Structure 1
Amino acid sequence: MTKAATISGILFDKDGTLLDYAKSWVPVNYELARIAAAGDEALARKLLVAGGMDPDTGYVTPDSLLAAGNTVEIAEGLVAAGAPFTVEALAERFDGLFANSAQLAVAVTDLAHFFATMHERGYWLGVASSDNEASIRATAKRFGFDGYLHYVAGYDSGFGTKPEPGMVLGFCAATGLEPHQVAVVGDNNHDLHMGRNAGAGLTVAVLTGTGSRASLSDASDHCLNDITELLPLLPAAAVARPAA
């Protein structure tokens, strides 16, 4: 039996996995830097570089602060790089920016149809993101897949942060699954290492975020162009799932 044949639940990252990272988050990163620099354009450029983004091209380095960090980690990094705020004040501003940014996000596919299909196949479905929980729920509602989610976890949901295993273990607790029955899908190594640390049955990388095949190969069982390639990878009917 292959690893894929044992999977009953799928836990997705959000940014770079369900959402096209470059189209959704590069514009937000520019605004984030302007906020953190209090309008100082030269400082804003410096902060983007500190976060791992080229201010001229918009390229974000795989597994950098802006690629993989949660709100508090990004705030800490930018304050350390010269942002004239406390970490707490900057994190609060970022949380507000990220929640509002859900309305500007670009999905990698028709997420309502995709999640409906996976639900019909019998899979438990969840989202675990380094963004805040409110932003995840706003995104799910906007793209019409909120009704198919059995679990949502952000950095502020009480399950710990990536790459710790807590978000995966929380998904298991919510669904009755064991870690070996769960596939973790993400675009950077924080996602994949979270899955490995939790003992997930499958770690799947996608190339719609900041990672590359080279940067993601060691920690992933499969590296896909995007989440739609899960459809042929996983069984058409999930292993019988327990009652939640």
Structure 2
Amino acid sequence: MALDVIRAVLFDKDGTLFDFRQSWGGWTKSMLDRLAPVTTGPLAQALGFDPQAMDFEPDSVVIASTMEEIATVIAAHVTLPYPQVVALMEEVGKAAPMVPAVDLPLVLGELRARGLRLGLATNDTEAPARAHLAGAGVLDLFDLVLGCDSGHGGKPAPGQLLAFAEAMGLPPGQIAMVGDSLHDLEAARRAGMVPVGVLTGPAPREKLSPHAEVVLDTIAGLGAWLDAR
């Protein structure tokens, strides 16, 4: 059976466009430093983060959860009310130094030159996501940016993915969902999109491969994969 032609690519953000450990290790350390005076328990342990190694446990809530879910964990270990925790997370998130996984203007520009529509579906909130894309000089390459607060929920639910397909006027089977976590690949399966894994996040190839049509080292391999496909 012939495969559908890919006409659009929907990206996860953290661990896909940006190197997860280098980017979110800094964010998590900044949050711990800012919250230290109001903590009531071992917050780093609750977040599954080692501040000395600047690395995460495989099951860390920071890796694939929505910002609301992470905020709930943090709020249980500080004296600040939940809304203030969320506001602080957004403040620190917008300023977090994101480290691109590849040359994003080059790679994404080449995909646009192929005529592909591009989108972002992240479990981060929309405002920091836009700030991160703008900081990398690629915001204008995206047709649609969706965060967990954009009205369609978060992954692994398929709401963001289906909203992108509808906005682009494309059947889900003509869209590749690219991500570094099982949340991303599960969302792709539930939406009927083509699941593509990348290794710029915490998950190893053997964990992603059973759930993806292909697992690439980075998104730089998308062009060659599209040609071979």
> Structure 2 length normalisation: TM-score?
0.92
| Residue of structure 2 aligned with 1:90, choices 85, 90, 97 | 85
| Residue of structure 2 aligned with 1:47, choices 34, 43, 58 | 43
State the 1:38 CA deviation.
3.0
| Residue of structure 2 aligned with 1:149, choices 133, 142, 150 | 142
Q: Is the Cα contact below 8 Å between 1:36 and 1:78 reproduced in 2?
A: no
| Residue of structure 2 aligned with 1:206, choices 198, 204, 220 | 198
Which residue pairs with 1:100 in the alignment? Answer: 95
Which residue pairs with 1:132 in the alignment? Answer: 125
| Residue of structure 2 aligned with 1:76, choices 72, 84, 89 | 72
Q: Is the Cα contact below 8 Å between 2:196 and 2:213 reproduced in 1?
A: yes
Which residue pairs with 1:35 in the alignment? Answer: 34
Q: Does 1:220 align with 2:216?
A: no
Q: Is the Cα contact below 8 Å between 1:37 and 1:84 reproduced in 2?
A: no
C-alpha distance in 2 between matches for 1:88 and 1:192: 31
C-alpha distance in 2 between matches for 1:2 and 1:79: 50
Q: Is the Cα contact below 8 Å between 2:125 and 2:149 reproduced in 1?
A: yes
C-alpha distance in 1 between matches for 2:164 and 2:81: 33
SS state at 2:132 partner: helix
C-alpha distance in 1 between matches for 2:37 and 2:187: 34
C-alpha distance in 2 between matches for 1:65 and 1:119: 33
Runs of 4+ in structure 1 over 4 Å off: none
Give runs of aligned pairs for residues 222-241 of structure 1, distance below 5 A.
222-235=214-227
SS state at 1:183 partner: strand
C-alpha distance in 2 between matches for 1:36 and 1:221: 41
State the 1:122 CA deviation.
1.1
Q: Is the Cα contact below 8 Å between 2:38 and 2:79 reproduced in 1?
A: no
C-alpha distance in 2 between matches for 1:185 and 1:49: 30
Which residue pairs with 1:65 in the alignment? Answer: 61
In structure 2, relative to structure 1, the CA distance for the partners of 1:188 and 1:234 (3 Å cut) is same
State the 1:193 CA deviation.
1.1
State the 1:50 CA deviation.
1.4
Give unpaired runs (5+ residues) of structure 1.
Answer: 239-244
How many residue pairs get aligned? The number is 229
C-alpha distance in 2 between matches for 1:63 and 1:113: 33
In structure 2, relative to structure 1, the CA distance for the partners of 1:223 and 1:2 (3 Å cut) is farther
SS state at 2:53 partner: coil
- Aligned partner of 1:74: which letter? I
> Structure 1 length normalisation: TM-score?
0.87
C-alpha distance in 2 between matches for 1:63 and 1:228: 27
In structure 2, relative to structure 1, the CA distance for the partners of 1:193 and 1:84 (3 Å cut) is same
C-alpha distance in 2 between matches for 1:218 and 1:88: 39
- Aligned partner of 2:162: which letter? L
- Aligned partner of 1:12: which letter? F
| Residue of structure 2 aligned with 1:160, choices 148, 153, 162 | 153
C-alpha distance in 1 between matches for 2:95 and 2:51: 22
